[in-house]
Chain A
Amino acid sequence: NAGVTQTPKFQVLKTGQSMTLQCAQDMNHNSMYWYRQDPGMGLRLIYYSASEGTTDKGEVPNGYNVSRLNKREFSLRLESAAPSQTSVYFCASSKRGIETEAFFGQGTRLTVV
């Protein structure tokens, strides 16, 4: 039982490049989330998916797109990376929305140069 798995763990991009961060959970959870954490700060919600087939914007959605591929997988795409998107990205899942305990992946450290 791996929990929430993110790939890759580290990535360096040049400004303007695109990439997709992958997230998969094996806990049969309905809800999944993407957060970013900037140095010295808490986590801010980018997008979430309350259930398979739905996605909604969070606090900082600009510059990102998401896809809920199936119940297990939720990907985050940067279409044209900018230095302001340098951050650590965390994926999380919970059983049935915000009123149940959320579990986090190990994070992806992204640097945009």
Chain B
Amino acid sequence: GIQVEQSPPDLILQEGANSTLRCNFSDSVNNLQWFHQNPWGQLINLFYIPSGTKQNGRLSATTVATERYSLLYISSSQTTDSGVYFCAAYTSGSRLTFGEGTQLTVNP
């Protein structure tokens, strides 16, 4: 099956810094989502992004499906951005396959 790899596994930032999280996938995908899992364990939808670029406030995402990667940009990070960021790729056969996540810690 498809492999979804995220990097870096861990990231520590000072408040106000910018960051880029990467998601690589091993095969063509039908679609891709980014999630934020907050410290309480809740999974929050960030982006549903098959291709192109989307922006939502300080966050933006870009997916280049032909090159099999997606990027999540966080600008002017805040402590509330802390948590785990997951990408999940859709493949044929109705499977939404998750990467292992990037653990982000934003220090005040």
Interface residues of A (CB under 8 A from B): 31, 33, 35, 40-45, 48, 50, 56, 58-59, 88, 90, 92, 97-104, 106-107, 109
Contacts and interface: CB of A to CB of B under 8 A. Distances in A.
A102 B86 contact: no
Given A43-B86, A98-B31, A107 B42 contact: yes
A99 B42 contact: no
B6 to A, nearest CB: 8
A43 B90 CA distance: 13
Task: Name the prevailing secondary structure of the B interface residues.
Answer: strand
B30 A42 contact: no
Contact of B100 (A42, A56, A88): A42
Interface string B85-105: 010101101111111110000
A35 B86 CA distance: 14
B30 A99 contact: yes
Contacts of A42: 4, 86, 88, 98-101
B33 interface: yes
Interface of B: 1, 4, 30-31, 33, 35, 41-43, 45, 48, 86, 88, 90-91, 93-101
B100 A98 contact: no
B95 A58 contact: yes
Contacts of A109: 41
Contacts of B90: 98-99
A48 B1 CA distance: 16
Contacts of B31: 98-100
A98 B48 contact: no
